[in-house]
Chains A and B, each alone.
Chain A
Amino acid sequence: MKLTLRVWRQRNPDSPGAMATYEVDGISQDMSFLEMLDTLNEELILGGDEPVAFDHDCREGICGACSLVINGDAHGPERTTTCQLHMRSFQDGDTIDVEPWRAAAFPVVKDLVVDRSAFDRVIQSGGYITAPTGAAPEAHATAVPKPVADTAFEHAECIGCGACVAACPNGSAMLFTAAKVVHLNSLPQGAPERESRVLEMVGQMDAEGFGGCTNTGACATACPKGIPLFSIAKMNREFVRAARKRG
């Protein structure tokens, strides 16, 4: 395949960036999107140019490091991570726009790499349980009904990639925060911090400069792990309940 790429290039956080156009040839349909970018980078390096910086780690859809807005869609046209997106989703001769996640809370570090440590601080504020550490507990000590375990697991699937923020017209982190709140607040192990968790995490989310939710639903459409929009409704309920108990 032969492709035209329009890629966001930005030297550092303070310099202005711009879209740069590149041609790549010899792309196989079986390559992943990141392998296609690797091919471009090899050519750039051989030509003495600076390679395009982009985030990636596991390349198997589980770490949440990869992060590209491809033709206006976070993680591209398929419902998966950028590393699991393959070039068969594109046509020979296509022009593809590649941009970084756009949000005030995710400043661009370089080219397509953004700083997502705001997510880490949201997790640090309450995305944990205070169980005593030590030997593994007896598995049947705390019974968890199957539907509850399923709900918790569905929400534990969030990989913290930030596609929800990138897709949201308000740069809101509600889906990410809701995934963690619902995951832990559903389980007996999360019960001791049930109120403080949601209050602290929403507080930190606001403090990081993420926008509010307008129930647009772009987040859930973009999420590679299928975290549903209902999670946000559930977190809203948890928040008001916690505020009432605290206030």
Chain B
Amino acid sequence: MALDTRTDRRPSFAGVLWRSTVGKKTAMAVSGIVMLLYLVAHMLGNLKIFFGALDFNGYAAWLRTIGEPFLHHEWFLWIVRVVLVVAVVTHAVAAYQLSRRDTAARPTAYSHRRRRASYATRTMRWGGVILGLFIVWHILDLTTLTVNPRAESGHPYENAVASFSTWYSATLYLVAMLALGLHIRHGFWSAAQTLGANRPGLDRPLKGLANGLAALLTLGFIAVPVSVLTGVVS
């Protein structure tokens, strides 16, 4: 066998990662954490709805001015959107490819079945699909206003109230937020494990933090539709 005395091309870092199961999972963990950070900020922002229409709409208008005059109007928002689209697509493509591989690696089931994984762990795939569909619905509802019953551009408070006053939109939102809580309950700890941050003394704190984040996000997000349904916000 002749050995190359010189190799001209070293494989790229991203290439080495994406071609292996370990690296692909790393991409999932990083994109997951990016989405998670966004969701924490998003949830906190949503809570401004409790201060009334003026506050909430003003906050939404301010979001478009972040970074001015260095950035043009709405540029910050568009940067965030691009980052999020990249994160969602990376996450979903890696999840799909790894899931296909995982099912192929275990073609025959045991006839004596055992339930080994927790509910949150077992529902990562279907929960992820629910979240993906919800993201599409959510954008059509409150960003592009395509399916919103009120669809008044520049009035997010009124649009949100109109949307959550319909039974289907409120139900969709509640289901998706429960799925989100479960996804983060396993996902946050899992990401720490994938990124190699987990170690003996950290396991319990990380699991606690995962549960805390899951509860915080789920409760924070569902507070809005629940308040509309109960008439606290109208």
* Residue from B20, B98, B106 with most neighbouring chain A CB atoms (10 Å): B106
For A72, give its contact among B101, B103, B112, B203 (CB under 8 Å).
B112
21 contacts between A and B (CB under 8 A): A71-B112, A72-B113, A72-B114, A169-B116, A170-B102, A170-B106, A202-B20, A202-B21, A205-B21, A212-B21, A212-B98, A213-B25, A215-B121, A232-B193, A234-B199, A236-B22, A236-B195, A237-B196, A240-B195, A246-B13, A247-B12
For A69, give its contact among B25, B112, B195 (CB under 8 Å).
B112
- B148-170 contacts to A, CB under 8 A, are none
- B65-117 contacts to A, CB under 8 A, are 98, 101-114, 116-117
Stretch touching chain B among A56-64, A78-86, A96-104, A183-191? A96-104
Chain A residues with CB under 8 Å of B103's CB are: 170, 211
Chain B residues with CB under 8 Å of A223's CB are: none
Find the B residue at minimum CB distance from A222: B116
Extra contacts, 17 of them, besides A199-B16, A212-B98, A247-B11 (Cβ < 8 A), are: A69-B112, A72-B113, A102-B107, A103-B105, A104-B105, A171-B102, A202-B21, A202-B22, A212-B21, A212-B102, A216-B121, A233-B198, A234-B196, A235-B196, A236-B195, A240-B196, A247-B10
Chain A residues with CB under 8 Å of B116's CB are: 167, 169, 216, 218, 221
Measured in the bound complex, the distance between the Cα atoms of B16 and A205 in whole Å is: 14
* Residue from B21, B23, B195, B203 with most neighbouring chain A CB atoms (10 Å): B21
Chain B residues with CB under 8 Å of A99's CB are: 110-112
Chain A residues with CB under 8 Å of B25's CB are: 212-213, 236
Check: A230 CB closer than 8 A to any chain B CB.
yes
Q: Taking chain B's interface residues, is the majority helix, strand, or loop, or is none over half, making it mixed?
A: helix
Check: A243 CB closer than 8 A to any chain B CB.
yes
A243 touches B124 (CB 8 A): no
Binding site for B on A (CB under 8 A): 6, 19, 69, 71-73, 97, 99, 102-105, 167-172, 174, 199, 202-203, 205-206, 209-218, 221, 228-230, 232-240, 243-244, 246-247
For B110, give its contact among A102, A209, A233, A234 (CB under 8 Å).
A102
CB distance from B117 to the nearest CB of A (A): 5
Find the B residue at minimum CB distance from A212: B21
Check: B60 CB closer than 8 A to any chain A CB.
no
B105 touches A170 (CB 8 A): yes
B105 touches A105 (CB 8 A): yes
Chain A residues with CB under 8 Å of B109's CB are: 102
A171 touches B106 (CB 8 A): yes
Measured in the bound complex, the distance between the Cα atoms of B195 and A234 in whole Å is: 9
CB distance from B188 to the nearest CB of A (A): 11
Measured in the bound complex, the distance between the Cα atoms of B199 and A228 in whole Å is: 10
B17 touches A243 (CB 8 A): yes
Check: B231 CB closer than 8 A to any chain A CB.
no
Check: B56 CB closer than 8 A to any chain A CB.
no
Interface 0/1 of B1-45, CB less than 8 Å to A = 000000000111111110011111110000000000000000000
Measured in the bound complex, the distance between the Cα atoms of B32 and A214 in whole Å is: 14
For B124, give its contact among A72, A168, A206, A214 (CB under 8 Å).
A214
CB distance from A18 to the nearest CB of B (A): 9
A247 touches B16 (CB 8 A): yes
Check: B190 CB closer than 8 A to any chain A CB.
yes
Find the A residue at minimum CB distance from B12: A247
Measured in the bound complex, the distance between the Cα atoms of B101 and A243 in whole Å is: 22
Check: B189 CB closer than 8 A to any chain A CB.
yes
A19 touches B21 (CB 8 A): no
Measured in the bound complex, the distance between the Cα atoms of B68 and A137 in whole Å is: 68
B26 touches A236 (CB 8 A): yes
CB distance from B107 to the nearest CB of A (A): 5
A212 touches B24 (CB 8 A): yes
B105 touches A211 (CB 8 A): yes
Chain A residues with CB under 8 Å of B22's CB are: 174, 202, 212-213, 235-236, 239-240
Tell me whether A209 and B21 are in contact in the complex, defined as CB-CB below 8 angstroms, given that A236-B26, A243-B16 are known contacts.
Answer: no
B124 touches A246 (CB 8 A): no
A240 touches B17 (CB 8 A): yes
Measured in the bound complex, the distance between the Cα atoms of B103 and A102 in whole Å is: 12
Chain A residues with CB under 8 Å of B24's CB are: 212
Leading 9 A-B pairs by shortest Cβ distance: A237-B196, A247-B13, A211-B105, A170-B102, A212-B21, A171-B105, A72-B114, A72-B112, A97-B112
Check: B194 CB closer than 8 A to any chain A CB.
yes
Chain A residues with CB under 8 Å of B98's CB are: 212, 214
